[in-house]
Amino acid sequence: MGECGGEHTMNILGIETSCDETSVAVVRDGSDVRSSIIASQADLHAKTGGVVPEVASRQHLEQMNAVIAEGLSVAGAAFQDIDAIAVANRPGLLGALLVGVSAAKALAYALRIPLVGVHHIEAHIYANWLVDPRIEFPVVCLVVSGGHTEIFLVRGHGDYQIIGRTRDDAAGEAFDKSARLLGVPYPGGVLIDKMARELHGNTQAVKLPRARLGADSFDFSFSGLKTAVANAVADPANADVAPQDWAASVQEAIVDVLVEKTIRAATANGARRVLLAGGVAANSRLNERMQAACNAAGLPMTAPPPVYCTDNAAMITCAGYYHLLAGRRDTLELDTLSSERLA
Ligand code: KG4
Ligand code: ZN
């Protein structure tokens, strides 16, 4: 623990390289973000319409040292000011994760400070603790990212139960695959949100299905939506639908079921709060609709600002803080795993 102005503080440097963002953050005491650097590879992967794992790993390698240096310099910190290292070690692209994990091990070894490996999805959930360290349990958290769509019941730190999950595509995939069908470039989700919002798209312009999977189910299915979008695009009756109306209609079909099931899950499980997490939690319409539904149900809601919803190291650092507080440490043998369920 470092000493700063007479008070005990814990400065953690966190690293995230699980997909296509090379990110480093320095966070003091779990929620005071001193720096959060995100070197995105989005432009690089836009050329191929998606992430090519080998290209991502090479790019992480090229960026890693510079991003660490920038993370420290923006925080006004030197290596000696860092008390522990947190790193995303699972799940993700193996080659990409390895770059961050190797850097983390080297730092922990050289500085003789604790190392803790963090589950990427757990970190997405913890982005909410960056916003509000006083969140009271139990909470229901909707995790919506490029590879995940799950409703978690969280009863305490580290205590997760999945009460609903997608049976096929993730919500982020539904956004990105629909975007591709509409001719919207990668990363599609972000642009669909922007088009629908800024150009006031009509949410009812194209009729699209909502898979509810039965009245009691908290599960999701988005593969039918993708097919429906493909059919609707090919239908001459929709030839005159404006791009922003396509965007708004697709977005609404995804957001409708996410909101409905999350609120039902929260109510059924006595949650004291609803949390949003993952890249799709950056979606402005999801935020707006979830907030309105939470207000109607008398439930408070927290969502991280967009920059902490998509992949970033501040969330890794925050989750690492709670692990370290609970006494967890990893050795230099820390593994890198392409897949591992959180619950
Ligand atoms: O969490 P994340 O950054 O990476 C993964 O761990 O997957 O999530 C990326 C996903 C992509 O599918 C992207 O299109 C989606 O989040 N996304 C959005 C928005 N921002 C990112 N989807 C809808 N609206 C957004 N504003
Ligand atoms: Zn993610």
Mutate to test the pocket of ligand 1, among 23, 124, 125, 175 (most ligand atoms within 8 A of CB): 175
Torsion 87-88-93-94 (CA) sign: positive
> What pLDDT is stored for residue 46 in this prediction?
85
CA distance 314 to 140: 21
* Alpha carbon of 101 to ligand 1 centroid (Å): 23
Question: How distant, in Å, are the alpha carbons of 39, 249, 259 from that of 203?
Answer: 34, 4, 15
Q: Which atom of ligand 1 is nearest to the CA of 311?
A: 3
Fold of 137-272: Nucleotidyltransferase; domain 5 (3.30.420)
pLDDT at position 42 is 86
Residues, CB within 5 angstroms of ligand 2 (ion): 145, 311
Any atom of ligand 1 within 6 Å of the Cβ of 143? no
Index of the ligand 1 atom closest to the CA of residue 173: 12
**Superfamily name and number for 4-126+309-325:** ATPase, nucleotide binding domain (3.30.420.40)
Domain boundaries of the chain, sorted by first residue: 4-126+309-325, 137-272
Instruction: Encode pLDDT of 16-39 as tens digits.
Output: 999 999 999 999 999 999 999 999
**pLDDT of the residue at 49:** 82
pLDDT tens over the chain, length 343 residues: 444 444 679 999 999 999 999 999 999 999 999 999 999 998 888 888 888 999 999 999 999 999 999 999 999 999 999 999 999 999 999 999 999 999 999 999 999 999 999 999 999 999 999 999 999 999 999 999 999 999 999 999 999 999 999 999 999 999 999 999 999 988 899 999 999 999 999 999 999 999 999 889 999 999 999 999 999 999 999 999 999 999 999 999 999 999 999 999 999 999 999 999 999 999 999 999 999 999 999 999 999 999 999 999 999 999 999 999 999 999 999 999 999 999 9
Contact indicator for 269, 220 with CB cutoff of 8 Å: no
Judge whether 4-126+309-325 and 137-272 match in fold.
Answer: yes
pLDDT digits (tens, 9 = 90+) for 173-199: 999 999 999 999 888 999 999 999 999
Atom of ligand 1 nearest to the CA of 310: 3
> Does ligand 1 lie within 6 Å of residue 91's CB atom?
no
What are the two backbone dihedrals, phi and then psi, of residue 55, each rounded to the nearest 5 degrees?
-65, -40
Contact 103, 64 (CB under 8 A): yes
Counting ligands in written order, which one lies closest to the CA of residue 144?
1
Q: Which ligand is nearest to the CA of 122?
A: 2
Quick one: 339 exposed, middle or buried, by C-beta within 10 A (0-12, 13-18, 19+)? exposed
CB 146 within 8 A of CB 176: yes
H and E: helices and strands count for the chain: 11, 12
Range list of β-strands (E), the chain: 2-4, 7-9, 11-16, 21-28, 32-40, 84-90, 115-119, 139-144, 149-156, 159-165, 273-277, 301-302
| Known binding positions for Fe cation | 120, 124, 311
Answer yes or no: is the C-beta of 249 below 6 A from any ligand 1 atom: no
Question: Contact, 313 vs 16, CB < 8 A?
Answer: yes
Q: How far is the CA of 192 from the centre of ligand 2 (A)?
A: 19
Using CA atoms, how far apart are residues 124 and 131, in angstroms rounded to an integer? 12
- Neighbouring CB atoms inside 10 A of 34's CB total 20
Neighbours of 47 (CB within 10 A): 11
Quote the CA–CA distance of 15 and 8 in Å, as a whole number.
Answer: 23
From residue 307, how far is each of 2, 59, 149, 303 by CA, in Å?
28, 21, 19, 11
- Count CA atoms within 13 Å of residue 151 on its CB side: 26
Structure confidence at residue 52 (pLDDT): 92
